[in-house]
Chains A and B, each alone.
Chain A
Amino acid sequence: AMEDVSAKFVSQKISRTRWRPLPAASLQPPDLFATGSWDNEDNRISIWSAGDLGNAGLNGEYHGEPNLLCDIQHNGDVMDMQFLDQERIVVASSTGTVTIFRHHRNNQTLSADHRWEKAHYHVDQDTACGGAACTGVVCNNPEIVTVGEDGRINLFRADQKDAVRTIDNADSSTLHAVTFLRTTEILTVNSIGQLKIWDLRQQRNEPSQIFSLAGDRVPLHCVDRHPNQQHIVATGGQDGMLSIWDIRQGTMPVSLLNAHEAEMWEVHFHPSDPDHLFTCSEDGSLWHWDTSTNVSEKPSFLHQGGRSTAYLSHSTINQSVVSAWLSSDPTKDRMEITNLIPNQTLSVNSLDVLGPCLVYGTDAEAIYVNRQLFA
């Protein structure tokens, strides 16, 4: 519920929020997250503790706002950010540089561990200017893949100075985001509505598969893969539409779901509960897409105050075998969609979900933490 959300104004526009990954088999909820800022004269990477654990109330709810542990200056806008492991964060910059920052937990400081200057560039890497914004980064320790406005794909290893592999001119338009499909394959989305699969084992500088939106080639801004069923992929576009793709078949999305009124900046399946999906947008909304609910059992949901809840459809057919995400007929879906921010005005640039916790950041210079997402 909204009452469990704590907010903090941080005097910088937030472009990325990321939970620090939990150690394997940890039962604790996540407690630390990182943020990156954009459009400031002085942009920063910051590490926050999610709330004061000492103030846990009677019902175990958390109070207190996020607390800044440490921060460090970052050159250029933070375009994307990903934890490599529990200590290291890889940050993509608008200058084209990719940096690994290390969070030292003993003395609460941040330092730059390694830097690939101008990993993305226009025309000539050696000129003084000419860096091209690195728009997306994804990690699978020790591998790091980055994409950029230069249409380039870089494969780095955290422990190697030079790029392991670079695909120049991989895309003639801007690459907006990247994610791993399998350990050797990646997915990219671009500004002409295409979803591409790249097999990094192959030496060919061509995608192994191209999927694309029909009609107007609406730019795609974000992509995420279903954590368990790897053939299910979700993307978000400039028109705010959520597209679900089955990469085993066809070249077009299985379903197009109307969601936001402006650019969808991020889409994330819940990592351990992938019946839930979260999207955020330039229009200032953050939607929770829930395919797990049996609509007929919870009719009273509509009456909850402060939420705008909509049902896409009703159904009595069981849905356990085929993933609800792939039902090609949206009228057969059982999907409950909830806007978690009723009165927001400025863009929600980023969100991250882990366990019962959600963190998101906005252009209104605030970060929000919800520690009881499924309460």
Chain B
Amino acid sequence: SGAPLTDTVPLQVVPGADPSARQLCFAWGPAEVLVCETLFGRAGGFRSPCLAGAAARSLTGSVAGTGDGAPSSSCVFVVRRDQDIYIQTLRKLFNESHGIFLGLQRSEEELAGKSRKAQLVQVSKNYRSVIRACMEDMHQAAVSTRDPALQGQYSTQVSILSAMELIWNLCEILFVEAATAGPLLLRLLDWVRLHVCDVDSMVREVLSSESPSKHKLFWNVVDVFVLQGRMDEARHLLSKEASANPASMNMYKILDDLMKKMPVPSLGNTQTLTELELKWQHWHEECQRYLQDGTFASNPHMESICKILLGDEDAILEKKDLMTTWYHFLVTRLLYSHPTVRPMELRFYAQSSMDLFLGGESSPEPLDMILMAAFEFEMHQVIKECSIVLSNWWFVAHLTDLLDHCKLLQSHNLYFGSNMREFLLLEYASGLFSHHSLWQLGVDYFDHCPEYGRVYLELHIERIPLSTEQKALKVLRICEQRQMHEQVRSICKIMAMKALRNNRLGSALSWSIRAKDAAFATLISDRFLKDYCERGCFSDLDLIDNLGPSMLLSDRLTFLGKYREFHRLYGEKRFLEAARLLLTLMTAHIAPCSFWMTLLTDALPLLEQKEVIFSAEQTYELMRCLEDLTAGNPDKQKFQEDDIETTKVEMLRLALARNLARVIVKEGTVEGS
């Protein structure tokens, strides 16, 4: 089992911030840290203020704002913990791998043994092909730009991507596919051939020359082929040299025959390991014989090749420059001395190959340590080292998730949070959420973090700036699909408030209807009614006339809708219906008390109509409403002081009395006749 992630993380200081001059303060954000220098100088007894994240990325500080621009203490640094998120060309990597990630989460866990493994290997290959495609784009960008600084940046990215692919490919062979003795060597050979490209240009140059065998690098290319186990290509080249030297034809024939006969592991189950080992032993002895015979003594090139075939370490090491890396040396060594190497034996050969290759001249670099950890099957060490070295969370998050799906990480629990897979996915997705555009991708990653994904999503989604309604709708959809009611309400409220500030009452209302926010609907309805009282006409009729069932959301909204209906009936001269509705608004207490005076005033023209509209009973009810209003008003003093109000009340009383008189006469007449 691996060590906790934190034990050897180096401390880093934000570039530009000077902890020796002033004390720093900081605030954690969801994916960024704000750091600023305080007014306090350095006092004794304080520890040097440094920033250390659980796994701090290589930090990038950027000055966000400088106030009046003069003293350094006004600087605020925004520290991002995943700087690669901001590289334009890598957005392709993030987007394409998002699809692969989702495919993997949805894939059939039930698939049995072999087909499940094939599926996982395919997923791994898909990830790698995205990395390679990105690498090509980046390379293209480096070639086509004229800005040397930019070119440098691109080239650095190409080498980082290339290292990522190299590590991933090795993990694929060792962990995902878990190649067994025999096929393991073939996979490692493929791996080396794919990634050691330093010699490719030399090979191309020699092969494309007029007469390759005369080329000064001819033997180098033959050696490259032999070292990489590309026997057919090596023999093809040698045959050209042979035809140019009829004198040594026999020597060539023997070497060619040896190379042809070399037993290699097969991918199918056509031979057992024991069979292979026997054949190989036999072949090895044959090579040994020819070497001791001195068959190749006259040609040092061929003699050295024969030594390589025999797995002679010194002979192979002599070709160090053609291999360029210790892991190439390792694979060549395995090919010619231990072709049936078992996975668990790899660590010994790897360690000694590295020692032999570096020979104490140079110390291993981070990449070497990562590959070594892989050869040692220390998966957690691989992930930990990558977390420290790489400037993104993308790699470790996706690789760990894949390994987790291979059921290789289950025993490992962190002392904080949930498991490592989830921890790394949360970090990666948080980085995406700190990006102004990539946040949408983060949602699906959080969805697949069973422990804390939901909480993270809730916290992050509320911080997405809602610049347009369209964007708000997209965020809202994410929340609604996940039954995040709290966030739905909050988003709708923000949008409703915005609309209200912009005097867009109609929009504001439709946002609060969407959130089923009764309180806010009441607030907006009051604004509508206030506007009506001030202006004497309704705004936004198209909306109020079409409230439909949403009218029931709040009492005030119901009143607004019904009150507008009264005006419509009145406008259409349907006085009887209008009168009945008006009265109901008061007697059923649909209308707020503050609005009763307005309603009673609205009754005035109905009372004054030529025709009698209100029945005697209705008139009594209107009178009671009026009296309730005047009597029940606690601020009686003020009410009476207001001349206009007093006049209104008097006018109403008069009109009601007259209407009562008329209706008694009318009803009496109708009944009497």
Contact = CB atoms under 8 A, between A and B. Distances in A.
Interface residues of B, number: 41
Given A172-B505, A364-B98, A11 B91 contact: yes
Interface in A161-220: 169, 171-174, 191-194, 210, 212, 214-217, 219
B468 interface: yes
A135 B92 CA distance: 28
A238 B476 CA distance: 11
A347 B507 contact: no
B98 A194 contact: no
Contacts of B503: 122-123
A56 to B, nearest CB: 24
A216 B542 contact: no
Nearest to A344: B99
A371 interface: no
B96 interface: yes
B539 interface: yes
Nearest to A345: B102
B92 A365 contact: yes
B502 interface: yes
A46 B59 CA distance: 34
Contact of B436 (A40, A130, A135, A149): A40
B95 A364 contact: yes
A283 to B, nearest CB: 9
A262 interface: yes
Interface string A100-127: 0000000000000000000000110000
B156 interface: no
A38 B473 CA distance: 14
21 contacts: A39-B436, A41-B436, A77-B471, A122-B502, A122-B504, A130-B502, A133-B470, A135-B469, A149-B507, A172-B506, A172-B541, A191-B510, A192-B510, A217-B546, A217-B548, A238-B473, A262-B481, A282-B474, A343-B103, A346-B440, A365-B91
Nearest to A212: B546
7 A-B pairs with the lowest CB-CB distances in the bound complex, closest first? A172-B506, A172-B540, A122-B502, A9-B92, A11-B91, A172-B543, A173-B506
Interface in B415-443: 436-437, 440-441
Contact of B437 (A13, A193, A282): A13
B444 interface: yes
B89 interface: yes
B493 to A, nearest CB: 16
Given A123-B502, A215-B549, A365-B95, A172 B542 contact: yes
B550 interface: yes
A94 interface: yes
A347 B474 contact: yes
Interface in A332-363: 343, 345-347, 363
Nearest to A283: B477
A216 B540 contact: no
A336 B125 CA distance: 37
Interface string B542-565: 110011111000000000000000
Interface in B130-144: none
B539 to A, nearest CB: 7
Contact of B471 (A39, A169, A366): A39
A150 interface: yes
Contact of B467 (A77, A238, A346): A77
Contacts of A343: 99, 103
B209 interface: no
Contacts of B549: 215-216
B92 A192 contact: no
Contacts of A38: 470-471
Contacts of B481: 262
B127 to A, nearest CB: 15
Contacts of A174: 469, 504, 507, 510
A77 B474 CA distance: 14
B550 A210 contact: no
B88 interface: yes
Contact of A173 (B96, B102, B468, B507): B507
A266 interface: no
B543 A133 contact: no
A79 B103 contact: no
Given A9-B95, A13-B437, A40-B436, A133 B469 contact: yes
A50 to B, nearest CB: 20
A132 B666 CA distance: 59
Contacts of A215: 548-549
Given A171-B542, A172-B539, A132 B502 contact: yes
A130 B498 CA distance: 11
A151 B506 contact: yes
Given A9-B96, A94-B467, A219-B510, 6 more contacts: A9-B91, A9-B95, A133-B470, A192-B510, A193-B546, A238-B473
A224 interface: no
A217 B550 contact: yes
B507 A172 contact: yes
A12 interface: yes
Nearest to A262: B477
A313 B440 CA distance: 37
A246 interface: no
A290 interface: no
B103 A210 contact: no
A363 to B, nearest CB: 5
A39 B91 CA distance: 14
Contacts of B444: 345
Contacts of B89: 11
Contacts of B92: 9, 11, 365
B470 A135 contact: yes
A169 B542 CA distance: 11
Contacts of A210: 542
Contacts of A122: 502-504
A364 B96 CA distance: 8
Interface string A34-48: 000011110000000
Contacts of B98: 345-346, 364
A313 to B, nearest CB: 30
Contact of A216 (B440, B502, B505, B548): B548
B652 to A, nearest CB: 33
Contacts of B474: 282, 347, 363
A367 to B, nearest CB: 12
A67 to B, nearest CB: 13
B547 to A, nearest CB: 8
Contacts of A41: 436-437
A29 to B, nearest CB: 27
Contacts of B437: 12-13, 39-41
Interface in B23-58: none
